[in-house]
Amino acid sequence: MSLNKNNILFYFLIYVSISVCAQEGRKEEKDSILTENLDEVVVTATRTIRQLSSLPLPVTLIGKEQLQQTGVTRLDQILNEQTGIIMTPDATIGGGEGVQIQGIASDYVLILIDGVPVVGRSSGNLDLSRFAIGNIKQIEIVKGPSSSLFGSEALGGVINIITEKPTSENISGQVSHRAATFNDQNTNLSLNQRFDKIGYSVFADRLSTDGFDLAPSDEGQTVNPFYNYTFNGRFFADITENLDVFVSGRYFFQEFDVQPSTSEEKDANVLLRINHDASKKTNLQYEFYYTNYTTDEQVIDPIDDQLLIANDFDQKLFRPEIRFNHSFNPNNTLTIGAGYNFENLNRSLFSETITFNSQYVFAQYDFKPLEKLNIIAGARFDNHSEYNSQLSPKISAKYDVTSNFSIKGSVGSGFKAPDFRQLYLDFTNAAGGGYSVFGKEVEATGIQRLQENDEIATLQVDPSQLGQSLDAESSIGYNLGFTYKKGALSSEVNFFRNDFENLIDTRILAAKTNGQNVFGYINRESVYTQGAEIDIKYTISKNLNLSAGYQLLYAFDKEKEEAFENGDVFGRNQETLETVRLQREDYFGLENRSRHTLNFKAFYEIPEWDINANLRVVYRSRFGLADRNGNNLLDELDNSFVDGYALVNLAFGKTFLEHYSLQLGVNNLLDFKGTNPLAAQDSEVLINPGIQLFTRLNIQF
């Protein structure tokens, strides 16, 4: 592996130097595709710079102003206020939160920082509160599958966090401190400076909290006290007029206070990007990215100091990538890219360190066959060492019917590689009753081992099926949208449908002699999510902006729908306890999906007083957490529904003496707490910790 890495590095360097030599002396004239001359531009949708309103895809952009005025400091807080995006609590009590886009769970949403992927998912979920948003220029969210550009995991959407670039020769930056309920203390510092040829940017952030408890009668807290640090240093250099270099290093460290146990998390990433304008029309980007995510978790019995569980996780990814952009003219751009993923994971629940290798190529052509028609067509091929290769095509188009009204549509496919856990987990839960879980690659040997120890009572699957390789989970996403803009009003309606195939589910492989089961993984489920999103923005005056969003969502499992049609779904009458046959209308759909979600935002400014205020409301309708009557689906007879609720957030800001701004705010003004229906009788478990106040002082310099 290291040999390969060196080779590729070597060739890249040779190639870079040749290109640099060849292009020497070329006169400055910035390439059209990389010129940022418009206010709202995004890079995630096409991997080239594109004006937001011109894109044929559903894209949400959260700008710096919104980030600042709302007073939020972590990524999860701001995403929840966007149309079609909600943060959902984990179904199990005390779990984390996951982002859901168009009804698609967080496992299928790719998170990027400056275009490179973040790794480190504990059981599929990526904790978004890990990401401080102090030095962020904007957050871009592309909904629907984008695997044609980004590969695995980009099924439901891509969230790209774009950091700020220094622009001024004077040192600029800010220091801020935010204090909030639960002794939440968040301090950050950022510094930026830009000279003629070089620039740098430094960011440091510290967050600590006492955490909170949603289940007061249970031992321990839902969120334990923790502190974390984020450091980010970036360096920009224009080597020549046509060649610039960007280097970024980010380090995140978090430790939970769970004495005498320990729980630590580290996330480090390094990015080197060389951008070379080989000609007026041609641009090349060379990217080297390394990331390492580790957790170190030890659960120690507080009484006898015995180590109960040690769960270490150490994931590394190294990824060189090259991209080539060529503009035949300002409206026709070809993008070609190739890369190599070297990935490995060492986890205490795996028998050995696992290595994945994958190679990929992608191409995209962005063109305008007619003056009013823009088409973007692309495809990506991923070749993987552990599962079947994937081809992910995508096509999208936008047609401007009038200057105010356009139609846009896209069809694309996405995939998610089976994760390490689904392939290599070898786990027997001694504390939880002795059940076992095996990843696909180790299930045959695992079962054999248990059989030799006489632990298997009955095998529930055909032995020849053991170890048959898993396919990647895949989806096809359809989006059809209409945008209308006139004067102060801009509105957008988007209809979506996402069909998922081959979702990986657990199944029982065998019954053990201790009465427990052995679980394995299998490609089984086919689900779909469909619905519509409506977004309306209205600028009442220069100082008052209103926006509202709504999402209608239907998310169901196709096989279960079929079982309903066949009359094969049963429930239990809650009074008589007798079995009743359930009808299709009793099927609520996938867990944790709300049929209706709404948001409303009002941002108000009084420039003469240097005051701003905003009100944001998010609502989600009733949703269910889990099957409780044993038929393996969520139906109206399951006692696991959370009633619809609204969260109201308010923030006020005032700037003094130009540089000092003070913010006061309330999140969850109505003090909504809710009750978790899965809580055991006589002990209440909350959905939300309730009202949270904050104040923030920011010094800009």
Partner 1 sequence: MKNLIKLSSLLLFFIAFVSCSDDDENTTAEFTVTAISAESGAVGTEITITGTNFPSNTSDINLTFGGANATITSVTSTQIVTTVPSGATTGSVTVVVDGVTKNVTTDFTVLSDLVSARAENIFAPQTGGQGTQEEASGPFTKFSFATGAVTDSDTEWDIAFRGLTIIVNGGTTTGTNDEPERNGNSGAAIEEGIFSEITDTSGIEFAQDANGELAIPTGSNNGWYNYNFMTTTVTPIPGKILIFRTHDGKFAKIEILSYYKDAPSDITQEVAENDFRYYTFNYVYNPNEGETSLAN
Taking CB under 8 A as the binding criterion, the range among 203-211, 302-310, 631-639, 651-659 that sits at the site for partner 1 is: 631-639
Residue 66 in contact with partner 1, rule: CB under 8 A:
no
CA distance 570 to 630: 9
> Minimum Å distance from CB 675 to partner 1?
15
- Please tell me what DSSP assigns to residue 223: B
Say if residues 447 and 509 touch (Cβ distance below 8 Å).
yes
Structure tokens at 379: 């495809």
CA distance 322 to 339: 6
**Nearer of residues 544 and 580 to partner 1, judged by Cβ:** 580
**Nearer of residues 368 and 628 to partner 1, judged by Cβ:** 628
Among 52, 189, 239, 457, binds partner 1 (CB under 8 A): 457
Strands 157-163 and 109-113, by their bridges, are parallel
Among 577, 585, 609, 657, binds partner 1 (CB under 8 A): 577
**Nearer of residues 253 and 641 to partner 1, judged by Cβ:** 641
Residue 453 in contact with partner 1, rule: CB under 8 A:
no
**Nearer of residues 123 and 632 to partner 1, judged by Cβ:** 632
**Nearer of residues 25 and 432 to partner 1, judged by Cβ:** 432
Taking CB under 8 A as the binding criterion, the range among 440-448, 477-485, 563-571, 590-598 that sits at the site for partner 1 is: 563-571
Residue 447 in contact with partner 1, rule: CB under 8 A:
no
**Nearer of residues 363 and 511 to partner 1, judged by Cβ:** 511
> Minimum Å distance from CB 90 to partner 1?
12
Q: Return the closest-CA partner of residue 416 out of 358, 468, 376.
A: 358
Count Cβ atoms below 10 Å from residue 248 Cβ, excluding itself. Answer: 20
Say if residues 471 and 465 touch (Cβ distance below 8 Å).
no
Say if residues 634 and 627 touch (Cβ distance below 8 Å).
yes
What are the two backbone dihedrals, phi and then psi, of residue 665, each rounded to the nearest 5 degrees?
Answer: -155, 165
Q: Return the closest-CA partner of residue 66 out of 164, 114, 131, 138.
A: 138
Structure tokens at 79: 């995403």
CA distance 255 to 468: 39
Taking CB under 8 A as the binding criterion, the range among 496-504, 510-518, 587-595, 659-667 that sits at the site for partner 1 is: 510-518
**Nearer of residues 541 and 576 to partner 1, judged by Cβ:** 576
Per-residue contact track with partner 1, 579 to 598, x per CB under 8 A? Answer: xxx-----------------
Among 253, 570, 619, 672, binds partner 1 (CB under 8 A): 570
* Residues 6 or more apart whose Cβ sits within 8 Å of residue 633: 557, 560, 569, 587, 627
Strands 456-459 and 41-42, by their bridges, are unpaired
Going through 558-691 in order, the beta strands assigned E by DSSP cover 570-572, 579-581, 596-606, 611-620, 623-624, 641-642, 645-656, 660-667
Residue 540 in contact with partner 1, rule: CB under 8 A:
no
* Residues 6 or more apart whose Cβ sits within 8 Å of residue 441: 386, 423, 424, 467, 469
Among 24, 568, 636, 671, binds partner 1 (CB under 8 A): 568
Taking CB under 8 A as the binding criterion, the range among 12-20, 197-205, 283-291, 432-440 that sits at the site for partner 1 is: 432-440
Structure tokens at 461: 């699957």
> Exposure of 387 by Cβ count < 10 A (0-12 exposed, 13-18 middle, 19+ buried)?
buried
Query: Could you give the dihedral angle defined by the CA atoms of residues 525, 528, 529 and 530, in that order, rounded to the nearest 10 degrees?
Result: -170
Among 196, 578, 585, 658, binds partner 1 (CB under 8 A): 578
Task: Pick out residues in 303-332 that bind partner 1 (CB under 8 A).
Answer: none
Count Cβ neighbours within 10 Å for each residue of 591-606 and write b for 16 or more, e otherwise: bbbbbebbbbbbbbbe
Among 100, 517, 523, 597, binds partner 1 (CB under 8 A): 517
Q: Return the closest-CA partner of residue 436 out of 347, 522, 350, 518.
A: 518
> Minimum Å distance from CB 199 to partner 1?
52
> Minimum Å distance from CB 592 to partner 1?
15
Residue 516 in contact with partner 1, rule: CB under 8 A:
yes
Rg (Cα) of the chain, in Å, rounded?
Answer: 26
**Nearer of residues 506 and 700 to partner 1, judged by Cβ:** 506
Residue 682 in contact with partner 1, rule: CB under 8 A:
yes
**Nearer of residues 93 and 650 to partner 1, judged by Cβ:** 93
Taking CB under 8 A as the binding criterion, the range among 39-47, 247-255, 511-519, 599-607 that sits at the site for partner 1 is: 511-519
**Nearer of residues 434 and 644 to partner 1, judged by Cβ:** 434
Per-residue contact track with partner 1, 469 to 508, x per CB under 8 A? Answer: ---------------------------------------x
Report how many residues bind partner 1 under the rule CB under 8 A.
40
CA distance 108 to 101: 9
> Minimum Å distance from CB 513 to partner 1?
8
**Nearer of residues 260 and 463 to partner 1, judged by Cβ:** 463
Residue 259 in contact with partner 1, rule: CB under 8 A:
no
Say if residues 229 and 205 touch (Cβ distance below 8 Å).
yes
Residue 572 in contact with partner 1, rule: CB under 8 A:
yes
Per-residue contact track with partner 1, 598 to 627, x per CB under 8 A? Answer: ------------------------------
Say if residues 192 and 201 touch (Cβ distance below 8 Å).
yes
Among 412, 520, 571, 653, binds partner 1 (CB under 8 A): 571
- Which single residue is written with the structure tokens 């066949």? 566
> Minimum Å distance from CB 312 to partner 1?
24
Among 631, 661, 663, 692, binds partner 1 (CB under 8 A): 631
Q: Return the closest-CA partner of residue 192 out of 174, 215, 214.
A: 174
Task: Pick out residues in 632-671 that bind partner 1 (CB under 8 A).
Answer: 632, 639
Residue 680 in contact with partner 1, rule: CB under 8 A:
yes
> Minimum Å distance from CB 579 to partner 1?
5
Residue 629 in contact with partner 1, rule: CB under 8 A:
yes
Say if residues 157 and 82 touch (Cβ distance below 8 Å).
no
**Nearer of residues 143 and 560 to partner 1, judged by Cβ:** 560
Say if residues 415 and 146 touch (Cβ distance below 8 Å).
no
Residues in touch with partner 1 (CB under 8 A)? 92-93, 432-434, 457-458, 460, 508, 511-517, 568-572, 574-581, 628-632, 639, 678, 680-683
